[in-house]
Amino acid sequence: MKQRPRIYYTETQKALMWDRWQKGESLQQIAQLFDRNHSSIQRILSESGGIRPAQRHRSRLALTLAEREEISRAVVAGQSLRSIATSLGRAPSTISREFKRNGGQESYRANQADQAAWDRTLRPKTCKLVANRTLAHIVAGKLQLQWAPEQIAGWLKRIYPDDENYQVSHETIYRSLFIQARGALKKELVQHLRRTRVMRRSRHHSQKTDNHGRITDAVSISERPATAADRAVPGHWEGDLLCGSGNSQIATLVERHTRYVKLVKVTSKDTETVINALIKNARELPQELYKSLTWDRGKEMADHKRFTLATDIKVYFCDPHNPWQRGTNENTNGLLRQYFPKGIDLSTYSQTELNAVAIKLNTRPRKTLNYETHAERFSQSVASTG
């Protein structure tokens, strides 16, 4: 098969790639625009780890191409350096440096000088995590604890409010992981992220769908009290099953006000087993901290009336094909995949081991809680009910 010649993409074409990538299109879809293989697009996007580079721009103080053309014409006309500077409203030293950088007055060419100036401005700024290795070690340690970059950045700002040397943005952490040329963080730390891919994907890349069964006499989420909807008071929970291999699963529960997480071992996903496990778990909390439970329309909650009768906890269900309505739990399940990757057998975990994972998650700072932890907020709720 005849090999196609290598294509050199223009800046306009690269901009189109980034636009499509940020909209969630796949590499293959983008490649079809240029009649190329996806690897051709991946080569461009992977240079910056799937993160769109900031658009370059010239300094307002720098000489423009038009000014350089004026300089070139003035040189041909035999004007002196000072007269050129006066006509442009520039300092003589500026014109002098311009000549020295570009071979002197005799060989000065406007276009060549302008391109050389543009090329010289491409000087990568030293990454903060390279300059401050102590900070890099702190960040690496928190990544190994499965903290998200945004959690690390928020925690650092909270712990070192008056020391910018020990503050770093979550974008810097992501870029240091995805762009290994920076030399700030080891590539192996990517495996501790919630998503272990080596290139950032758009949040629009995929949409989760719901294909669960129907629930008899389900009370819609629209009937849930306003205090549950606006997270005004603690005691309203969201739940779901996190599934593994071999038909294994665990029940995940998260409290909407504090985002506190509880994990419940279930030996089967039939409704009797799941309801029994949820009833036992519910009795571990005072009624003031467990008023309602919102669930997706999975068949494991078919016997929801028995749960309500045994615990006096009302159960509400998402609308069909709208699992995002219990978004706090959906997000939590995504975080839990760091501890329970897809494809592993969840039945091997004891309740004690599940409790240990819940403790790890509950002691991670959260941006939505002003970088306090779930455990801190939940302890305050428990104290207020005591």
Mean per-residue pLDDT pooled into runs of 10, the chain (386 residues): 68 87 85 83 80 80 91 91 92 92 90 88 76 90 90 93 92 81 74 71 53 70 87 92 92 94 94 94 90 91 93 91 85 91 93 95 91 91 76
Nearest in space to 218 (alpha carbons), one of 315, 322, 326:
315
Let me know if residue 206 belongs to a domain: no
With DSSP H G I counted as helix, E B as strand and the rest as coil, what are the percentages for the chain, rounded to 5? 50, 10, 40
- Those residues whose C-beta lies under 8 Å from the C-beta of residue 364, and which sit 6 or more positions away, are 145, 146, 147, 148, 151, 373, 374
* Cα–Cα dist 141/127, whole Å: 18
pLDDT for position 198: 64
* Same domain membership, residue 235 and residue 381: yes
Q: Give the three-class secondary structure for 251.
A: strand
Count of domains in the chain? 4
* Same domain membership, residue 380 and residue 259: yes
* Same domain membership, residue 374 and residue 243: yes
* Same domain membership, residue 360 and residue 225: yes
Let me know if residue 51 belongs to a domain: no
* Same domain membership, residue 343 and residue 291: yes
Q: Domain span at residue 157?
A: 128-192
* Cα–Cα dist 203/201, whole Å: 6
Q: Give the three-class secondary structure for 364.
A: coil
pLDDT for position 123: 65
Let me know if residue 199 belongs to a domain: no
Q: For residue 45, what are its two tokens? A: 């996007």
Q: Is the distance from CB of 365 to CB of 158 less than 8 angstroms? A: yes
* Cα–Cα dist 302/296, whole Å: 11
Provide the 8-state DSSP code for 162: T
Let me know if residue 3 belongs to a domain: no
* Cα–Cα dist 19/30, whole Å: 10
Question: Can you say whether residue 104 is alpha, beta or left, with left for phi > 0 and alpha for psi between -120 and 50 degrees?
Answer: left
Let me know if residue 201 belongs to a domain: no
H-type alpha helices, 254-303:
271-282
Nearest in space to 73 (alpha carbons), one of 62, 58, 84:
84
Q: Is the distance from CB of 326 to CB of 318 less than 8 angstroms? A: yes
* Same domain membership, residue 362 and residue 234: yes
Nearest in space to 88 (alpha carbons), one of 107, 101, 69, 103:
69
177 CA to centre of own chain? 12
Let me know if residue 216 belongs to a domain: no
Let me know if residue 209 belongs to a domain: no
* Same domain membership, residue 150 and residue 116: no
Question: Can you say whether residue 15 is alpha, beta or left, with left for phi > 0 and alpha for psi between -120 and 50 degrees?
Answer: alpha
* Same domain membership, residue 34 and residue 76: no
Q: Is the distance from CB of 381 to CB of 256 less than 8 angstroms? A: no
- DSSP-assigned states of every residue in 196-222: --SS---TTS----------TTPPBGG
* Same domain membership, residue 177 and residue 287: no
Q: For residue 138, what are its two tokens? A: 């702190």
Let me know if residue 213 belongs to a domain: no
Backbone angles phi, psi at 185, to 5 degrees: -125, 145
